[in-house]
Structure 1
Amino acid sequence: MRLVKLLANLGYGSRKEVQTAIRHGWVTDKEGNRLKADSKTPHEDILFDDEPLDPAQGVVLLMHKPLGYTCSLKDQGRLVYDLLPDRFRMRKPVLSTIGRLDKETSGALLFTDDGTFLHRVISPKSEVPKVYEVTLDRPLKGDEGALFASGEMMLESEVKPLKPAELEVLDDTHARLILHEGRYHQVRRMFAAVGNHVNELQRSRIGGLGLDGLEEGGWRVLSEDDKALIFAGE
């Protein structure tokens, strides 16, 4: 791929803007040599304004989503994309979230520009487990775990029962819930169906991949080993 197209696809500007940057000498190799539009320098050896390039196409990011941010570019207010470099919004292919967390839910959120990877994670056939830490408004009654695990629970306005889910009771008002699907507001609707209300909700793990000390609002690029962890339970 020509250098101009590579940089434009990574969101560093339009092709015209990237050509200007190249003419001004802002694009170099690691030795400081100015690159030309037709340079064949490997991605990992290119610097833009003395900084390494953003990850190449096929990137997967993990973010610790804070409360108060939404996942769709169509939403109003604070977006999870505001926590990434501005140019990430201009990448081609587009950088998308893998699933969503609502405004009042925090925790593990994945992004990728790899459509095949995205569909593998969200495919019902994959059944990648998602782990949620739940704080409830009222004490648990004791029969929720059996119902959630039954494979027979129905949510209002739906015609297909939920897949079995595992509930670990931590104390009267705190629990850990493991889901193998991702329906709209599923955790909140499950507890509402048994007469309770979710006060706080965090997704702590996707497959075998956890937040592992990542600060709220922080993000990192996943390695191949990290990506494999997501599917470790398949």
Structure 2
Amino acid sequence: MLNKPKDTVTTARDPEGRRTVIDIVKNACPQRLYPVGRLDRNTTGLLLLTNDGELAKKLTHPSFEAKKIYHVFLDKKLTPEDLETIASGVELEDGTIKPDAINYVDPKDLKQAGIEIHSGRNRVVRRIFEHLGYKVEKLDRVYYAGLTKKNLPRGKWRLLSDREVMYLKAGLSK
């Protein structure tokens, strides 16, 4: 589990020479690790890496419906009307997206929202808000498939416990 920092690409190698998530975890284990899914270069937060190809494939397959929660920081206040529009579903160029949940993180700061989705579509959280005229200034994934990044500082990683691995694998037997 990595709390991915900004300006890091979610790939094993980058032809442009940018820092990758693999660079950060290079001494984690002797096996070759692969990112589970992707986070944009400027999106921070929880990213899983594994040497178990079957687990990675299942966690990223749409049928697994891995729940993801993002903390979104916007350039302006999210209106209650737009919050409701997003909750009801937004029509994007690749189809309708309806989050599982959305709300303000803090009722006193309407520039921050929490959104829960299970879609794995490319840049979907950013595109939802951009569709309604907002600029996402910061995007942080705080939850993925039952795991949180609690107590894991940005740019740091830790091995999953046996219990966490069993939890992830048990969730695959749906």
The TM tier, using the shorter chain, reads: 0.7 to 0.9
CA distance in 2, matches of 1:147, 1:208: 27
CA distance in 2, matches of 1:143, 1:228: 41
> Structure 1, residues 79-107: CA drift from partner, whole Å, max 9, x if none?
1111123586x83xx42100111111110
**Residue 84 (structure 1) aligned with residue 21 (structure 2):** no
CA distance in 1, matches of 2:167, 2:69: 14
Aligned counterpart, 1:66: 5
Q: Retained in 2: the 8 A contact 1:132–1:201?
A: yes
CA distance in 2, matches of 1:191, 1:100: 19
Question: Which one has more relative contact order, counting CA pairs under 8 Å at least 6 apart?
Answer: 2
Structure 2 residue runs of 5 or longer lacking an equivalent are: none
**Residue 165 (structure 1) aligned with residue 120 (structure 2):** no
- Which structure 2 residues correspond to residues 3-82 of structure 1 after superposition, within 5 A? 62-72=1-11, 73-76=13-16, 77-82=18-23
Aligned counterpart, 1:39: none
Corresponding residue SS for 1:226: helix
CA offset at residue 154 of structure 1? 1.9
Corresponding residue SS for 1:175: strand
CA distance in 1, matches of 2:86, 2:145: 19
Aligned counterpart, 2:112: 174
Corresponding residue SS for 1:70: coil
Q: TM-score, normalised by structure 1?
A: 0.65
CA distance in 2, matches of 1:162, 1:129: 14
CA distance in 1, matches of 2:166, 2:28: 27
Aligned counterpart, 1:210: 148
Q: TM-score, normalised by structure 2?
A: 0.85
CA RMSD of aligned residues (A): 2.2
> Structure 1, residues 145-197: CA drift from partner, whole Å, max 9, x if none?
3333334x2212x1x32244311112310010101111111111000011111
> Structure 1, residues 9-51: CA drift from partner, whole Å, max 9, x if none?
xxxxxxxxxxxxxxxxxxxxxxxxxxxxxxxxxxxxxxxxxxx
**Residue 189 (structure 1) aligned with residue 120 (structure 2):** no
CA offset at residue 68 of structure 1? 1.0
CA offset at residue 229 of structure 1? 4.8
Identity percentage over the alignment? 32
Corresponding residue SS for 2:129: helix
Equivalences, count: 166
Is the deviation greater in 220-229 or in 103-112?
Answer: 220-229
CA offset at residue 74 of structure 1? 3.0
Corresponding residue SS for 1:103: coil
Which residue identity does 1:207 align to in structure 2? Answer: A
CA distance in 1, matches of 2:103, 2:161: 30
CA distance in 1, matches of 2:146, 2:167: 5
The structure in which a higher percent of residues are strand is 2
Aligned counterpart, 2:65: 127
Larger Rg: 1
Corresponding residue SS for 1:108: strand
CA distance in 2, matches of 1:228, 1:194: 40
CA distance in 1, matches of 2:91, 2:166: 32
CA distance in 2, matches of 1:102, 1:132: 13
